[in-house]
Amino acid sequence: MKLKGSFKAPGDKSISHRIALFSLLGKGRMQVNNFSPCADCASSLKAVNLLGGEAHIFGDMLSVEGALGEIKDSRVDCGNSGTTMRLLMGLLAGRPGEFCLDGDESLRKRPMQRVADPLRQMGAELICEKGNAPVFIKGKELKACDHTLSVASAQLKSALLLAGLQARGVTTVREPAQSRDHTERLLTQCKAACNGKNGTWQVAQSELDLPERYWVPGDISSAAFLITAALINPDSRVMAEDVLLNPTRIGFLKVLLRMGADLKIEQQGNHPEPWGRVTAGYTPKLEACEIMAEEIPLMVDEVPILALAASQARGVTIFRQVGELRIKESDRISAICSQLSALGVDIRVKDDDLLVTGPAKLKPVAELDSFGDHRIAMTLAIACALAENQANIKKMESAAISYPGFQDALNGLMA
């Protein structure tokens, strides 16, 4: 199956969430171009409006009004979105009022204790029975903390920084390994007192000054599926245009380069974040490699699609310490192992490492299961395109959680 041409992925999901949610702590009116149309960001927009903010979407343009001080007691349905829930936990912990954050079946299984515990140290009042949603919050006056994160998680780090913006004193958050830094960048762009380097971040009490205009670069995590598809399908060459190139998000591109991929990364701008073009061409001789534990947070959402790339590489690719993937929208380790095995890939788990041996010739199957997880669904769709196999992928519609136009974009490149 040959893929040719250029495409633009929708606006970055992580950045879009933050823009919408931060308006609750900001003042001013903001016009945002290329806001993500995905279902997860729709959950954040719904939350903002319920909580007293004002966010209106017109196509991919978002108009948002700062709602500082206007937060209303609410019960918020965060849908499938861990980012919405975890960032709101930090954001609401210091606002006067009573709130309940709930979500779908998948979100109700995901760990919230890791966010609730450090927030409680700051004086927050949160109840999440057995560490899961629904999360009940009673806003309190917060005091600053100095906290070392138990895991390298951008959602956890962001929750604490957002609470720190409302706390007395200077809050310090230390990361065990670097994770995506969109919160820190956006807080600085909103003129908050936020500084840091080498994985240590500090915030002090601040109101956010929303920039008048903001453009969201394309989502590199969505583009990853089509970039990888081009690398493993003969005669393919695709270009991802206007895509986010933030160094904390392109770990998977660096790994693919190590595997010998025909990839070109051209940075074309640095504002509001590094962005540019990625060109990917079919690479018949991908080589296996080892991916170290500290690299995983920089490519945490791309492990499923990279596992598929590894299945086409010569040798054993080892992903070290991927346990965090078990608590994403699904148990992604178990999902990717069962589904790629069904397709004939030699893939196994040893301790917390994932081992993929290639190259594998994928075999046709009648049905695959995404387990309702968007990133698994899209990985399986690319695997089926490679195998020229029309398998039924259960809950394929979950792709819309991050990439509503995925199937059309794939079809467009295959035409």
Instruction: Give CA–CA dist 78/59, Å, rounded.
Output: 22
Q: Which is nearer to ligand S3P, 161 or 385 (CB)?
A: 161
Instruction: Give CA–CA dist 20/45, Å, rounded.
Output: 6
Q: Which is nearer to ligand S3P, 159 or 232 (CB)?
A: 159
Phi, psi of 194 (to 5 degrees): -140, 120
First to last CA, the chain: 10
Annotated binding-site residues for phosphoenolpyruvate read 13, 82, 110, 155, 332, 375
Residue 300 C-beta: closest distance to ligand S3P, Å: 5
Q: Record the tokens describing residue 26, joined without a space.
A: 């900001």
Angle (CA) 290 340 80, round 5°: 95
Q: Which is nearer to ligand S3P, 30 or 162 (CB)?
A: 162
Residue 297 C-beta: closest distance to ligand S3P, Å: 6
Q: Record the tokens describing residue 99, joined without a space.
A: 């709130």
Residue 225: CB atoms within 10 Å: 25
Instruction: Give CA–CA dist 406/225, Å, rounded.
Output: 9
Residue numbers annotated as active site: 301
Residue 414 C-beta: closest distance to ligand S3P, Å: 27
Q: Which is nearer to ligand S3P, 296 or 385 (CB)?
A: 296
Residue 223: which residues within 8 A CB-CB, separation 6 or more?
7, 9, 240, 243, 278
Residue 41 C-beta: closest distance to ligand S3P, Å: 10
Q: Could you give the count of Cα atoms lying within 13 Å of 314 in the half-sphere of its Cβ?
A: 7
Interface with ligand S3P (CB under 6 A): 14, 17, 83, 153-155, 158, 180, 300-301
Q: Record the tokens describing residue 40, joined without a space.
A: 């997860």
Annotated binding-site residues for 3-phosphoshikimate read 13-14, 18, 153, 155, 301, 328
